[in-house]
Amino acid sequence: MGGNHVSGKADNSKWILEEHTERKHRVLSYYLSIWSKILGENNANLIYWDFFAGRGDYSEGEPGSPLIAMNISKERYESGNSLGRPISITCVFIEEDKNCYYYLQNLLRDLYPDLEGDRWHLFHGDCQKKYDELQISENDSIFTKRIPQFFFLDPYGPILPLEMLKRIMAKPRHEMILNFMVEWINRFTTDKIQENNLKAIFGVENLSVLRDIQVTENPIPNITEYYISRLMADDGARVKYVTRPFEMIPDRRQSTLYYILGCTNNPLGIQKMSESMRAISNNEDYSYRGKFEYQMTLEFLGRDKIKEIADWVFENYIETEANFELIYTFCCGRQTWSRSEVRDAILQLERNGKLVVQPKSGRKRVGNTFSDHTIVFQRE
């Protein structure tokens, strides 16, 4: 990485890579790599959006989200899909801060000079306005095509209005990972100056529910659950699947700063997002808790975990009939369990007579597999 990437002043003290940020970027890298590989099998073109791109790297040269995305884009194009055909990921970076914008521009031109205007685009300005402008682009722009698109939304402060997220997720092939700054919301819940911002974030006309939650015993997780309900509500963003929150407690703090949420309308998407978070977390509860990890309480510590999972599924999955994929997808949006743990729990329920597995017509069940066979819960 040669050259001076800064046009104007660069304050490296603001760009020291903290461990919680590195962990967040690992989630992004892990899932973006999986997403592009799966979708690239049947789609030659994909789009990655970074609405709060920052300057692209950190004080010691560590990659930020733009470089992480560009590295994956390069890898996918060179390795291709299973047929050897290139997978082209168009990376779109939007940054409002002028110094960061020029720094990132120089950085990208230094590292990827031949890909500008093709596999990467950089825009300066407000991310909402720029996104909306690109959606009505003329000349058959790639931004107006119905192709799979992934959004990374990692703001410095307040998050985007719910109406904006609704517009993004209204297209079935769109997915996003967002940073929910719950600490900021908790701090400003009763602040008159931020009232309109908060109404827009939750997509509500008044803040009575939020303010009632703010005075409960555990406001941080309760505010987050409320936000997830607004993401999924018919009068909200109408997202079909949201992951269980990935909690971030930086080393210098003893309380939650923010949560990472994965949003998708695809059942395979929620499974892979959850598996990505599980792979990057440092405990069973989808969280990075810095040096205060010793304070956590594992939900199943000292208990029969598979039995607990089995009991939870039996009590909370309300449908009478399903297949394994539907049950596992249901769990991915609410718990942190792995596929194998849910599978073992279903087998335990079968052994205990709480469900039966009915093979598809004309097919035999092989061992303890589920395939797409029908699982019928035995409830009185």
pLDDT at site 127: 94
Domain CATH number, residue 191: 3.40.50.150
pLDDT at site 284: 54
pTM of the model: 0.86
pLDDT at site 249: 80
Side-chain-facing half-sphere of 24: CA atoms under 13 Å:
26
Q: Kindly state the helix (H) or strand (E) to which residue 48 belongs, with its residue range.
A: strand 45-50
284 in the same domain as 318:
no
* Calpha distance 245→241 (Å, rounded): 12
pLDDT at site 283: 57
Q: Kindly state the helix (H) or strand (E) to which residue 21 belongs, with its residue range.
A: helix 19-39
Write the DSSP string, 243-274: PPPEEE--TT-SS--EEEEEEES-HHHHHHHH
189 in the same domain as 61:
yes
Residue 298 has pLDDT above 90, yes or no: no
Q: With CA atoms as reference, report the closest residue to 47 among 124, 127, 187, 152.
A: 152
Mean pLDDT of 309-317: 94
310 in the same domain as 208:
no
Q: Are strands 88-95 and 355-358 parallel, antiparallel or unpaired?
A: unpaired
In the chain, the amino acid numbered 158 is: P
Residue 162 has pLDDT above 70, yes or no: yes
Structure tokens at 277: 């978070």
Q: With CA atoms as reference, report the closest residue to 89 among 52, 57, 123, 50.
A: 50
Average pLDDT of the chain, as a whole number: 88
256 in the same domain as 235:
yes
**Contact 186/214 with Cβ under 8 angstroms?**
yes
Last residue within a domain, chosen from 295, 327, 348: 295
369 in the same domain as 224:
no
Residue 196 has pLDDT above 80, yes or no: yes
317 in the same domain as 289:
no
Structure tokens at 297: 């309480």
Structure tokens at 90: 């168009």
Position 6 in a domain: no
What domain count does the chain have?
2
Last residue within a domain, chosen from 295, 324, 349: 295
340-350 tens-digit pLDDT: 999 999 999 99
Q: Are strands 174-180 and 149-153 parallel, antiparallel or unpaired?
A: parallel
* Calpha distance 329→225 (Å, rounded): 18
Q: With CA atoms as reference, report the closest residue to 223 among 181, 264, 260.
A: 181
What is the CB neighbour count within 10 angstroms for residue 2? Answer: 6
Mean pLDDT of 136-161: 81
Residue 368 has pLDDT above 60, yes or no: yes
Side-chain-facing half-sphere of 197: CA atoms under 13 Å:
14
pLDDT at site 250: 72
315 in the same domain as 283:
no
Percent of the chain scoring above 90 in pLDDT? 68
Percent of the chain scoring above 70 in pLDDT? 88
Structure tokens at 263: 């949003």
Mean pLDDT of 31-57: 96
* Calpha distance 48→139 (Å, rounded): 20
Domain that holds residue 230: 12-295
pLDDT at site 287: 62
